[in-house]
Structures are given as structure tokens and as C-alpha cells.
Chain A
């Protein structure tokens, strides 16, 4: 059996030693995914944020109970699901998710579902974002654009991209980072206007 290497382990260890800053990195990495997960069961946007916040606070307070038997994200996922269940129970609503499987395949499923989440406001933002991204992406050098699209839109690993683009993995890493740096400036400018 192949043992999974947890990419978060060292950061989690620092958080277990009391580093709030280390835990903050974990929040930055996973908050979007956790909010997306909770959004599947709770439609009220404000409540989703409250439950997400509560999930991370619970996770921080009980982080020493994480023993590394699973990936950190799997553990965090369970904390979030239980917190969402409690929030729904408190509201006297039926809990619709008794047997949620945690796994990579399942993650892919909900990523797809999240793209389908729709309301007028998010639709407008998505349209604006899409437009901004298209413009920003088209302004990128071709090799950066290609590496970034392989990663973000096709979900390929760095190794797969390196094979496809016939370049070393280090170059792929660098290209994706440069593309991301450029795009983040474009997105920030759009969000601030």
C-alpha cells in the first residue's frame, strides 16, 4: 500500500506547538475549500462563513488530537462537516449528510458541483472575473499561460505538465508562480474597483 505523504505535516506540527501563524497558513490554504464544502448544505452565505470560522477555531483548539493517521485536510474536512451538522441541528433542520465519503474522487465531484452554484450576485462576479482573467491570461507569455492553464483548469500535476511541456519540474513551478503573481495583481485591481 502506498503511504500518503501529507504536504501539510510540517506546518501542522508548528501549529501543534502553538504557532497561530502556522495555523493561519492552513486557513489561507483551505478556507475556500471548506466554505465550498459547507455551501453544499447551507445556503445562507452568512451562516456558511460563521460555520467555516467556527470549524477553523475548533480545529485550532483541538489540533493536538490530530495524530497524522490521515491527511490533515481529511481531518479538517471532518471537523467542518461535524460543525455544519451541529449548526443545522441547532436550527432544527434535518441533517442531510450522514455518510459523506472523504476522498480525492469526492473532492473532484464537489469541485464540479461548486462551479454550478448559482445566484445573480455570484453570477455577475463570475462573469466579471472571467472577463478579467481572460484579458490577463491573454497578456501572459505563452509558456506561462500554458503551464497555468494545465494546472488550474486541467488539474494536472507539476510532473505531468513537465512531461507535456518537456521542461524540468522546477521550470514548471516557476512558470506557474509567475503566472499566479501576475494574475493576482489583475484580480486584486478588479476587486478593489
Chain B
């Protein structure tokens, strides 16, 4: 163990005891910011374990499983809000992207149903056909009414003093 290694481990020992000073913390920060240091890692683990055993806290170790779990997950809390990673996706505001995605999600299943279009056209065609029939009926009765009024006006002009409602006339004439 070289001098730096020894000082680092001594700093860790002091930190375990909550007795570390600024220099200890600087050494630990440097260690954390540097690459992997297997010797220090193992020494820290052994020191921490010894302390746990001496304090009657048992020698069980969950650090490996926690480290693996944490390394495989990226905490959402660790994404700083100021980076704007969640606000803009390739220069497009996320609200627009979300709205478009929602619209697609709603409309795609509707359009995927073939009946939807067919039914629409059939309904429209039936309605149009019915409208034509109704119009023809209306035109026919209008034509018959016109003929009736013309005939009645002719009769009225021939029989003076006998101006009455056409239906009355028809009733009288019908007997």
C-alpha cells in the first residue's frame, strides 16, 4: 500500500466514524471522481464490515445488490430539470408531440374499421334516394292541386254568385 492509498483509507476510516475533515472529504471526492480503484474498494468494504460486526450490526452485505440495481436504473430524479431533456424532442415542443400522438392513438382504431366508411356511404345514399322520392311525391301533389284550383276557378267564373270554398263546392257538387 503506497502513501496515497494509506491516506485515502485513513480518510475513509475517519468518515465512517463521522470524524472526517475537509482534507478527508477531498480525498474521498477525488477517489469517487477517478476511475476504478479495486484495492480501495475492497479495503473500504472490509473496514465498513468490521465496524458493523463490532457494533453488533451483523456482517450482512446488501451493497452489491443495491449497486447492481442502481447501476441498471437511471433515476428520473437524477435528470436535472434545467437540461430541458423532457421539454423538447428534436426541436419540437413536447406538448405538440404528445397531442399528435394522442390524436393518432384515437383515430387509427376508428379508421381501421372497414365498416365505418362503407356504412357512411350507404347511409348517405339511402337518405338521398328517400329525399328524391319525397320530392317527386311533393311535386305530384302540387301539380294535382294546381289542376284542381284551375278547374275550380273556371267553374266559379261560369256560375256567378256562387263563390265558395272549393271543398264546399265539391261537397255540394258531390251531393
- Tell me the A residues contacting B by CB distance below 8 Å: 7, 10-11, 14, 16-25, 27-29, 31-33, 35-36, 39, 45, 49, 52-53, 56-57, 60-65, 111, 114-115, 117, 122, 125-126, 129, 133, 151-152, 157-158, 173-174, 176-177, 180-181, 183-184, 187-188, 191
Residues of B3-49 at the interface with A, using a CB-CB cut-off of 8 Å, are 9-10, 12-20, 25, 28-29, 32-33, 43-49
Q: How many residues of B contact A (CB 8 A)?
A: 48
Q: Does B162 make an interface contact (CB < 8 A)?
A: no
With the chains together, A11 CA to B138 CA distance in Å?
Answer: 91
Do residues A7 and B20 form an inter-chain contact, with CB atoms below 8 A? yes
B52 touches A173 (CB 8 A): no
Given contacts A20-B71, A28-B63, A36-B57, contact A62 B77 (CB under 8 A): yes
Is the C-beta of B124 less than 8 angstroms from some C-beta in chain A?
A: no
9 sampled A-B residue pairs with Cβ under 8 A: A10-B28, A18-B78, A21-B32, A23-B70, A25-B44, A31-B52, A57-B66, A62-B75, A181-B43
Which residue from B50, B62, B71 sits with its C-beta under 8 Å from A53?
Answer: B62
Q: Are the C-beta atoms of B55 and A111 separated by less than 8 Å? A: yes
Interface residues of B (CB under 8 A from A): 9-10, 12-20, 25, 28-29, 32-33, 43-63, 65-67, 69-71, 73, 75-78
Q: Within 8 Å CB of A133, what residues of B?
A: 54
Q: A25-B12, A111-B56, A177-B9 are in contact. List 4 more A-B contacts (CB 8 A).
A: A31-B61, A31-B62, A35-B58, A152-B51
Cβ–Cβ contact A27 & B9, under 8 A = no
Considering the complex, give the chain A residue whose CB is closest to the CB of B78. A18
Q: Which 6 residue pairs across A and B have the least CB separation, nearest first?
A: A32-B52, A32-B57, A28-B48, A64-B77, A177-B13, A177-B10
Query: In the assembled complex, which residues on chain B have CB atoms less than 8 Å from the CB atom of A158?
Result: 14, 17, 19
Provide the residues of chain A in CB contact with B33, threshold 8 Å.
Answer: 14
Chain A contacts for B52, CB-based, 8 A: 31-32
Chain A residue contacts of B32, Cβ below 8 A: 11, 14, 19, 21-22, 25
A29 to B15, Cβ gap below 8 A?
Answer: yes
Tell me whether A32 and B17 are in contact (CB under 8 A): no
Instruction: Please report the C-alpha to C-alpha distance between residue A179 and residue B136 in the assembled complex, in whole angstroms.
Output: 112
Please report the C-alpha to C-alpha distance between residue A171 and residue B75 in the assembled complex, in whole angstroms: 42
Kindly identify which residue among A10, A35, A56, A60 contacts B75, using a CB–CB cutoff of 8 Å.
A60
Contact of B13 among A10, A11, A115, A180 (CB under 8 A): A180
